[in-house]
Structure 1
Amino acid sequence: MKRRVPARPVFFKLTQIQMPVGAITSIMHRVTGVVLAIAIPFCFYALHLSLASKESYEHLTKMANTGLFKIALIAFIWALSHHLLAGVRHLLMDIGIGSHLADARRSAWSANVGGVAMALLATGVVL
Structure 2
Amino acid sequence: MSQSDVKAARPLSPHLQVYKLILTMLMSILHRITGAGLYFGMFFVAWWLVAVASGPSYYDFAMGLFGSIIGYLALFGFTWALMHHMLGGLRHFLWDTGRAMGPGIRDKLAIANIVGSVVLTVLVWIVVLAVA
Q: Which TM-score applies when normalising by structure 1?
A: 0.80
**1:126, CA displacement in angstroms?**
4.6
**1:78, CA displacement in angstroms?**
0.4
1: distance between equivalents of 2:61 and 2:107?
Answer: 45
Query: 2:49 aligns to what?
Result: 47
2: distance between equivalents of 1:12 and 1:88?
Answer: 28
Query: 2:92 aligns to what?
Result: 90
1: distance between equivalents of 2:63 and 2:40?
Answer: 22
Query: 1:6 aligns to what?
Result: none
Structure 1: which 4+ aligned runs deviate by more than 4 Å?
Answer: 11-14
Amino acid at match of 1:108: A
Q: Does the residue aligned with 1:96 lie in a helix, a strand or coil?
A: coil
1: distance between equivalents of 2:129 and 2:27?
Answer: 26
Amino acid at match of 1:44: A
**1:50, CA displacement in angstroms?**
1.7
**1:12, CA displacement in angstroms?**
6.2
**1:20, CA displacement in angstroms?**
1.7
1: distance between equivalents of 2:129 and 2:17?
Answer: 40
Query: 1:5 aligns to what?
Result: none
Query: 84, 91, 104: which is aligned to 2:106?
Result: 104
Query: 72, 75, 81: which is aligned to 1:73?
Result: 75
2: distance between equivalents of 1:64 and 1:122?
Answer: 16
**1:122, CA displacement in angstroms?**
3.5
- Identity, % of aligned pairs? 27
Query: 1:30 aligns to what?
Result: 32
| Larger relative contact order, structure 1 or 2 (CA cutoff 8 Å, min sep 6) | 1
2: distance between equivalents of 1:126 and 1:39?
Answer: 21
Q: Which TM-score applies when normalising by structure 2?
A: 0.77
**1:52, CA displacement in angstroms?**
1.4
Bigger CA radius of gyration? 2
**1:92, CA displacement in angstroms?**
0.8
Amino acid at match of 2:109: S
| 1:78-109 deviation per Cα after TM superposition (whole angstroms, max 9, x unaligned) | 00000000111011112211111111111111
**1:119, CA displacement in angstroms?**
2.2
Q: How many residues align?
A: 117
| 1:10-43 deviation per Cα after TM superposition (whole angstroms, max 9, x unaligned) | x8669xx752211111110111000001111221
